[in-house]
Amino acid sequence: AQSVTQLGSHVSVSEGALVLLRCNYSSSVPPYLFWYVQYPNQGLQLLLKYTTGATLVKGINGFEAEFKKSETSFHLTKPSAHMSDAAEYFCAVRTNFGNEKLTFGTGTRLTIIP
Amino acid sequence: EAQVTQNPRYLITVTGKKLTVTCSQNMNHEYMSWYRQDPGLGLRQIYYSMNVEVTDKGDVPEGYKVSRKEKRNFPLILESPSPNQTSLYFCASRLTGGQTGYTFGSGTRLTVV
């Protein structure tokens, strides 16, 4: 079985400050890991993904995430927050054993303080 | 434009009245999936399909049906909707290959009274 835990359902940061959104996963086999962003009244958009290879993954809009197997973590970061980053962020895990179960965390709502 | 199209965007219905939410993708994707999103619960997978005529249950399939008769379409059917199925529903599709992420539709907000 696989699962995802996102610490902090709400995170607030000042404009220009570091953004850190936490994600820990549980999987008995090597996982594929994803971060999605959801803007108000919209569907989800893929930010970045980890499959194999380099553990530091760069995504769109200046976001990046680091896969740490020893910590079972895949935290999302951005060096300098922008007002347009205000949204809800979801971490998700899928195993690479051919099943199609993509399991999401409960989400983190990011607020940017001017 | 490459996209996943869901219809309708908003739907209010009464308990027990059968309904279908349509989903269509124009990207020739093999995999398609339905999710529901509820506050505090994130997104939960209802059903998925790995190709035409190949479907399987996700984590919350009770009360839902799907079919995949054509590659591009993956409708979600609620035979007898109940108030606990009031939710925001998303359809998504992706290419085969573990590395690919899903492309999501814009969502269908369903209210069952």
Residue of A nearest to B30 (CA): A100
Mean pLDDT score, B29-35: 95
Percent of chain B residues past pLDDT 70, beyond the cut: 99
- B101 by Cβ neighbours in 10 Å (0-12 / 13-18 / 19+) ranks as buried
Mean pLDDT score, A56-78: 94
Predicted confidence (pLDDT) at residue B84 exceeds the cutoff of 90: yes
The first and second tokens of residue B49, run together, are 């399909």
Q: Which of A42, A49, A106 lies nearest to residue B41, judging by beta carbons?
A: A106
> What pLDDT shows up at residue A94?
85
> What pLDDT shows up at residue A96?
60
> What pLDDT shows up at residue B103?
92
- Other CB atoms within a 10 A radius of the CB of residue B36 amount to 23
- Please give the Cα distance from B2 to A60 (Å, whole number): 18
Any idea which of A16-30, B11-25, B72-86 has the lowest mean pLDDT? Answer: A16-30
Residue of B nearest to A5 (CA): B42
The first and second tokens of residue B30, run together, are 């093999």
| Residue contact B45–A103, C-beta within 8 A | yes
**Sign of dihedral through CA atoms B67, B69, B75, B77?**
negative
Mean pLDDT score, A14-28: 93
